[in-house]
Amino acid sequence: MQRAGTNRADEALKLAEAPERPGPLEPEGVALFLDLDGVLAPIVARPEEVRPEAARTRLMQALQAALGGRLAVISGRTIADLDRILDGAVASLAGVHGLERRLGHGPIWRAEPSPAVAGAKAAFEAIARAWPGAVVEEKGVSVGIHYRAAPGALADVREVVERLTPADDLVAQWGQMVAELRTPGPDKGDALIAFMAEPPFAGSRPVFVGDDLTDEHGFAAAAAAGGFGVLVGPARPTAARMRLENVEAVFDWLAAAVSRTGAA
């Protein structure tokens, strides 16, 4: 059964900035959980611009082998979009911040969408018409608006989020130049906990790598289960114990772990 979202991220933001670079990742006994945007792919203005890359696919395949299947991507994107971008290289996925989840190649569990998502979509589409460059991303159980290419839209986006969140029992999530209104339900930390209760993840030490505020749930859940989080990007108050500078540093860190196992 899926667990409702918690306030782990609120608690995490009271902590100090992640102070140090992680040491070498030893795959033995580790379960690895990765965000996608900002971790495995650079942040772009339009989400559809992120496409499969052969080097990333090969790295994910090698990690899957090195970790004995204890690899999952937990992202704000849908599972269908993750499969597209990752070329099907990662079997276990959680999408829409935990509102859908797939263990291995099994069936997809998906939360029942709130009827209020349709109204949020209409409100965001009105903003996109008024601000060229803003992009609406509809995910069934949630809807987001990316305004990196239209930063002037922020005030309108904030007004819609503040108006619809309490009225329609939607959950607001802010990211890097993106706002999302989603069906209430599991978050990224809940997805990690659910994976950790099942083979092949059970009994291992979780490591969660993410870049955004929505990843704080994953950092806190990993720490609570005896592992740790790795923040990607500039230092900030976080529940992550370690930090990597950018996507390139993540790839180097993961590739080094693969090379030590001979799985590359």
Q: Which residues are catalytic?
A: 35
* Interatomic CA distance for residues 72 and 188, integer angstroms: 11
200 prior amide bond cis, ω within 30: yes
CB 161 within 8 A of CB 123: no
Residue given tokens 């209104």 in the structure block: 181
* Interatomic CA distance for residues 73 and 208, integer angstroms: 9
In DSSP notation, 2-26 reads: PPPP-SHHHHHTTSPBP-B------
CB 140 within 8 A of CB 52: no
CB 169 within 8 A of CB 136: no
Backbone angles phi, psi at 196, to 5 degrees: -65, -15
Backbone angles phi, psi at 36, to 5 degrees: -105, -70
Token output for 29:
């006994």
